[in-house]
Chains A and B, each alone.
Chain A
Amino acid sequence: MTLRAIVTGGGQGIGAEIVRGLVSAGYWVGILDRNTAAAESLATELGSSEVLPVDVSDHLAVASAIESFGELDLLVNNAGIVRFGPLLDQSADDIASVIGVNLIGTINCAQSAAQLMAAQNGGVIINMSSVNAVHPAPNVGIYAATKAAITSLTQLQALEWGPLGIRVNAVAPGFIDAGMSAPIFLDDKVRAKRSGGVPLKRLGTAEDVVQAVLFLASNAASYIHGHELVVDGGVIQSVLAHLPRS
């Protein structure tokens, strides 16, 4: 039987690599993304997938897209945005947008997915958090607070949805040389400084995150529930981690 997954923000960045990993592990994947063009071209390239052209912050659109996807074994709540800059300079729009995608979007998708899964005897949900949820770095705006909220949400979902047969965990990536932070690392100086602050002395790859997601999705993780798995080369263990971006 083919397993069925939805990856939000699956059109590009880390999400696209998660889609790739799931397709090669034999899943049929719904690529849920508001960037329809990116999602379409990935689906065409990979096959075994379909596009759900939705904005995660739109409650009704999410509900109908996920419901019509039908049987669902796995939701990867990956869509996320960041507006870098000092907290003092964050505009009302920055704040509302980041909360709308990262927090409300995560809740929207998880609720719809959990309803389907509960009716189908269970499933797995993986929420994408960040090391910023554990130790916020300067100049990430409201992003860190939304990620900390995802940590708490993951725990609550585990408590309430565990009895429905839904296993819920989070993955907290560190400095990843892909997706939203790739532009930061184009600067060689920043790159050297920040990778030097990681105990394993390198930036992470999207593949490092994919591996953690595939593990938590699999039955090998059947007793892991309500956990936030940090995948960061040890950066949050090191005081050297709190280095400025520039």
Chain B
Amino acid sequence: MAARLRGDKKFLGHDIVKGQSYLVTGGGSGIGEATAEQLVALGARVTICGRRAEKINAVAARLGDRCLAVTADVTHVKDRADVFRQAMAHGGGLNGLVNNAGNMYRAPIADFNQDRLLDIFNQNVISGMMLSQLAVPALAARQGAIIFLGSIHTRRAFPGAAPYAATKAALQTLTQVMAAELGDQNIRVNCVIPGAVKTEINERAGLGSTEDSATRMTALAPLHALGRIGQPMEVAEAIVFLLQSKWTTGALLDVDGGLGLGLTPL
């Protein structure tokens, strides 16, 4: 029998996103780019930001007028204020903040470097905390949502990746406390936990060439219960679901093809 279609791509919530306004940090590549693309395709207005102007400008050019690119480094106070102001102007308010910008810092314990540790916590955790603080009043006015990006590194231990894993665990806990704290302002706070998804983050971390990083990712495929690594758009779809789902808050949504289950192929 021919393979059957397993469910239409459209689910109820897709309609809700239309006409709304979202800010996606780190929208120049990977999961952030896919999220911006999906939100724009569903009729939303999206502001993306990133450090590399040519990257984010190219994404905005591809996605059209509903996508605005702002060159900004979210670790800088002034840049955060600027990107938030522009997102409010571009979308006429704010329905959702996707704290997607993040970087990888791997180091075995013997090589921990204090400046680099402070820097990775600043990039991955503190920037999102402070941007959320800026956005809360605007989000409260729209019953809006905040999304954080956790990681499979909190479900499985990868030796040598402690710095990155610790930042992601911080975000997951932050999600739960912020959800409890912001509930009475009707702001939902959720987190997606992606499995192995091929994006630039691994290449930027200096894990070797594009091919090296692709080989490493492919080697992870058999550890997923679904037998394959994921696509950025599959994570983006989960983010879109959490942005519009009216009664899900404080959730840590694994989007990992079953990698977190800990499958060991025999």
Q: Which residues of A contact B (CB under 8 A)?
A: 1, 3, 21, 25-26, 71, 73-74, 119-124, 155, 158-159, 162-163, 165, 167, 174, 198-202, 204-205, 208, 210-212, 214-215, 217-227, 229-234, 236-238
Q: Is the CB of B183 within 8 A of A162?
A: no
Q: Interface-forming stretch among B105-113, B128-136, B224-232?
A: B224-232
Interface CB pairs A-B, < 8 A, 22? A3-B4, A73-B7, A121-B3, A200-B183, A208-B248, A210-B12, A211-B11, A217-B7, A220-B240, A222-B234, A222-B237, A223-B256, A224-B238, A224-B255, A225-B225, A226-B225, A229-B253, A232-B249, A232-B250, A234-B180, A234-B183, A237-B249
What total of chain B residues lie within 8 Å of the partner, measured CB to CB? 53
When distances are taken between beta carbons in the complex, the residues of chain A under 8 Å from B183 are: 198-201, 233-234, 238
Within the complex, the shortest CB–CB distance from A231 to chain B, in Å, comes to 5
Q: Across the two chains, which residue of chain B brings its CB closest to A154?
A: B261
Q: Give Cα A102 to B172, complex, Å.
A: 31
Given contacts A120-B4, A219-B9, A225-B226, contact A159 B246 (CB under 8 A): no
Q: Is the CB of B11 within 8 A of A218?
A: yes
Given contacts A199-B180, A229-B248, contact A219 B6 (CB under 8 A): yes
When distances are taken between beta carbons in the complex, the residues of chain A under 8 Å from B249 are: 199-200, 232-234, 237
Q: Is the CB of A124 within 8 A of B7?
A: yes
Q: Give Cα A230 to B253, complex, Å.
A: 8
Other CB < 8 Å A-B pairs besides A1-B5, A223-B195, 15 of them? A1-B4, A73-B7, A119-B1, A124-B6, A162-B224, A162-B227, A199-B250, A200-B249, A215-B245, A217-B6, A219-B9, A223-B226, A223-B230, A223-B238, A234-B250
Q: Give Cα A89 to B243, complex, Å.
A: 43
Q: Across the two chains, which residue of chain A brings its CB closest to B14?
A: A220
How many residue pairs, one in A and one in B, have C-beta atoms under 8 Å apart? 183
Q: Give Cα A58 to B114, complex, Å.
A: 62
Within the complex, the shortest CB–CB distance from B171 to chain A, in Å, comes to 14
Going nearest first, the 6 A-B pairs with the smallest beta carbon separation are A199-B183, A162-B225, A223-B234, A237-B250, A208-B247, A234-B249
When distances are taken between beta carbons in the complex, the residues of chain B under 8 Å from A218 are: 7-11
Q: Across the two chains, which residue of chain B brings its CB closest to A162?
A: B225
Q: Give Cα A227 to B256, complex, Å.
A: 9
Interface string of B117-157 (1 = CB under 8 A from A): 00000000000000000000000000000000000000000
When distances are taken between beta carbons in the complex, the residues of chain A under 8 Å from B186 are: 200-201
Is B83 among interface residues, defined by CB-CB distance under 8 A? Answer: no
Q: Across the two chains, which residue of chain A brings its CB closest to B7?
A: A218
When distances are taken between beta carbons in the complex, the residues of chain A under 8 Å from B53 are: none
Within the complex, the shortest CB–CB distance from A154 to chain B, in Å, comes to 10
Q: Give Cα A154 to B226, complex, Å.
A: 14
